[in-house]
Structure 1
Amino acid sequence: MELKDCMATILKKRKSLSLNDDFGIEKCWNDMTELLTQNEDETIHYLEESKEDDLYFISEIFEDISEKLQSERFIACLRKLDKKFPELDMTKDINIAESYIEN
């Protein structure tokens, strides 16, 4: 299954969960992190094509993705998305994600 389709399934589930469903949310985060760290190029392309609503939920795991990818290109992509969707207020999440890159 294509990354876009897999993510759509996980995001649909994540959006339906209540904030009290810690186990369900964590499972969605783990599944998304697993998918989005398999191929950096595909991930960046996917994020660049993502809708604002989806990015809001994906931003919950920016630091997890960053820790695994260890990629300045990934951070640059996030910064571009932050400018494209300033109302999502992702700057803090991106700064945290950037701190997970080992120098």
Structure 2
Amino acid sequence: MIDEEKILSIIHKIDSLHIEDPTISLWWNKLAQVLSENTKETINFLDSCNDENVVNNISAVFDDISANLQSQEFIKCLDRLENKFPNLLLHPMIEVAIDVIFD
């Protein structure tokens, strides 16, 4: 089962850092790593997520997760998130996530 507490803890750490903090990329890498462990669990987590901030933070690593999972089902999940959270600008991140699968 996906470790939701770990994901939320990483996101909390990311939120506490300044965007130019040199360690932020380490935290994004950790987030991508956790979300790349199991395709089905990641999709279930994202489909059940109702927190815009969580989705917004995870969108920063859609491409890394996609590169690791190589899953069309993951891309379909991202499309559902884009429909669920229309106020977030997810489309550019989803496009990159698609590109890494087909490159």
Corresponding residue SS for 2:18: coil
Counterpart for residue 69 of structure 2: 69
TM-score normalised to structure 1 length: 0.93
Counterpart for residue 16 of structure 1: 16
The question of whether the paired residues in 1 share the 8 Å contact of 2:2 and 2:41 is answered with no
Per-residue Cα deviation, 1:40-86 (whole angstroms, up to 9, x for no partner): 01100111122111100110000000011000000000001101101
Corresponding residue SS for 2:19: coil
Instruction: Report the aligned-residue RMSD.
Output: 1.4
Corresponding residue SS for 1:100: helix
- How many residues align? The count is 102
Deviation for aligned residue 1:102 = 3.1
TM-score normalised to structure 2 length: 0.93
Deviation for aligned residue 1:3 = 1.5
Query: Which structure carries more helix by proportion?
Result: 1
Counterpart for residue 30 of structure 1: 29
Distance, in Å, in 1 between the alignment partners of 2:72 and 2:14 is: 27
Unmatched tracts of structure 2, length 5 or more: none
Distance, in Å, in 2 between the alignment partners of 1:48 and 1:72 is: 15
